[in-house]
Amino acid sequence: MGSVQVVQYALFRRGMLTNPMLHVAGFVRTDPALDRPDIQFLLLPAYRSPGGTTGLGHGYGLSVMLLRPKSRGTVSIRNTDPSAPPLIDPHFLEQNDDLELLSQGVKLARRILATPAWDTVRGPETVPGPAIQSDEEIREHIRKSCSTAFHPVGTCKMGSDDLAVVDSQLRVRGMEGLRVADASIIPNLIGGNTAAPAMMIGEKASDMILKKSPPPPIAGV
């Protein structure tokens, strides 16, 4: 089955491999009193094994993502060898609030998937699985299985303070003729995916380099 799908995609751009895999994103507030969402859901129309890998087969999943984690990791220089990879410690769940929000997100995802809209396609739950029910069991599952969503920002943050790498024109401080124009200049993690903001940063950088005037404001916005 797998090799057939590879051939279909390579020759005709058809088949399962044309599927973007993440069809729907939803942003929710775990507390109605919040002024903005703190959890994102991603609907995955494929079977996901308990080990976290996606494979062939019938199934679906609702991934829970923490939008504004409080835990902060570190990136350190390993040694004097410039080719040596850095030491990265994400410090996942170092702040207990992160663990509690993810736990609420898992319970909310289960509530969503238990609604009548899913009755015709629902199968047995595989992750976390029916054996995991109590708050502590859910927390332990999160501790063992959580991972990054690969949306890093801030390694070359924009600003005017001593820790800023680039200025408001995206020019690297202390260097001539060098700018940074990607998600690394975002000072703080945004509450969502970074693709669209990164495209906007690139377009804005192009305008600044070409000295284009900004477009007029849109009425009512």
Token pair, residue 173, equals 């401080």
Q: Which of 58, 91, 141, 151 is catalytic?
A: 151
Cα-based distances in Å from 97 to 5, 45, 102, 187, 194: 43, 30, 9, 22, 23
Rounded mean pLDDT, 126-140: 94
The percentage of the chain sitting over the pLDDT mark of 90, rounded to a whole number, equals 61
State the average pLDDT over residues 189-194.
Answer: 89
Given pLDDT bands bounded at 50, 70 and 90, which one contains residue 53?
A: low
Q: What are phi and psi of 214, to 5 degrees?
A: -65, 150
pLDDT at 66: 94
Rg (CA), the chain: 22
pTM over 0.85: no
pLDDT at 184: 94
- pLDDT > 70? residue 49: no
pLDDT band at 45 (very low <50, low <70, confident <90, very high): confident
Cα–Cα nearest to 173, from 186, 164, 185: 164
Q: Is 151 a catalytic residue?
A: yes
Higher pLDDT, 136 or 72: 136
| CA 153 – CA 170 distance, rounded (Å) | 15
What tens digit of pLDDT does each residue of 107-123 get? 999 999 999 999 999 98
pLDDT of residue 73: 86
Question: Which CATH superfamily is 16-145 part of?
Answer: Glucose Oxidase, domain 3 (3.30.560.10)
For residue 171, give the DSSP letter: B
Where in the chain are the domains? 16-145, 150-213
